[in-house]
Amino acid sequence: MTIIALTGGIGSGKSEVSRQFAKLGVPIVDTDEIAHELTATGSPVLAQINQLFNADFLAKDGSLDRAKLRAHVFNSPSERQKLEALLHPLIRANALKKLAENEHQFHPSYQILVIPLLFESNQYAGLVHKTLLVDCAEDLQIQRAMARSQLDEAQVKAIMAAQVSRATRLKLADEVIENNGSLAELIENVAKMHKKLTKMAVQTCIINQLL
Ligand code: ATP
């Protein structure tokens, strides 16, 4: 089955777009959701994180203090690398398992793998067939990210500065869903893209069978 990587900057609308594709029957595997599942309360990964940094990143209720961990790794590339070295292989293995399960359970022509930092890392190259970008103007990105989270403007801007630029994403992506308008417009854009991707995936499937 064709795998489409869905990406986009913070607050660009990846979750909203995923929801709309899911409504159209497209299977979704979300690497952010997998990361949350892996670090859920009681998970053995939490103890590994504490051990890794020789510190306590658990809140009183035993859940991961995500804000504290984010603050710890955000300005330290070496600490960040340590965390990524622990989590990325686990996330990737889980994603592969879910993608494989979809091969058996669904019969659509393609599935979507949500990878927010697709263009920042090279981990999924060779696995995905096409890349799909959710793009919107940076001021909208900031507004939407702030409205959705506890982050203030400076924090959102700092995260944006640590991600690849909008121009780079637009240059690297195979396909783009524009999200500068209303939710209704976004739903329409997703429906159009679904038609395009279905056609493309069916053609790819026919070509593979012929070769
Ligand atoms: P993050 O990278 O932070 O996880 P994201 O790319 O997944 O963000 P969403 O969570 O989908 O982005 O969108 C951010 C916020 O903006 C959400 O509250 C969402 O409902 C809202 N939003 C997204 N697109 C639109 C739109 N076209 N009109 C109005 N609100 C929107």
Alpha-carbon distance of 96 to 75, in angstroms, equals: 30
Report percent pLDDT > 70 for the chain: 95
109: DSSP letter = S
Indicate whether this model's pTM tops 0.85: yes
Distance 16 CA to ligand 1 centre (A): 6
10 lines ligand 1 (CB under 6 A): yes
97 with 128: CB under 8 angstroms? no
Residue 176, token pair as written in the block: 């783009």
In this structure, the strands spanning 110-114 and 2-7 are parallel
Q: Is the pLDDT of residue 15 over 70?
A: yes
Which residue out of 132, 148, 157, 178 has the highest number of ligand 1 atoms within 8 Å of its CB and is therefore the one to mutate? 148
The predicted pLDDT at position 72 comes to 92
Q: Taking residues 58-72, what's their average pLDDT?
A: 92
Q: Is the pLDDT of residue 66 over 80?
A: yes
Distance 189 CA to ligand 1 centre (A): 15
Boundaries of every domain in the chain: 1-27+109-211, 33-107
148 lines ligand 1 (CB under 6 A): yes
Which residue type occupies 1?
A: M
Mean pLDDT estimate for the chain: 93
182 lines ligand 1 (CB under 6 A): yes
Report percent pLDDT > 90 for the chain: 82
pLDDT tens-digit series, residues 131-188 = 999 999 999 999 999 998 888 999 999 999 999 999 999 999 999 999 999 999 999 9
- Ligand 1 atom closest to the Cα of residue 19 is 11
Q: Specify which residues 4 forms β-bridges with.
A: 112, 130
- Ligand 1 atom closest to the Cα of residue 8 is 6
169 lines ligand 1 (CB under 6 A): no
Which residue type occupies 168?
A: T
36 lines ligand 1 (CB under 6 A): no
115 lines ligand 1 (CB under 6 A): no
Is the domain spanning 1-27+109-211 CATH 3.40.50.300? The answer is yes
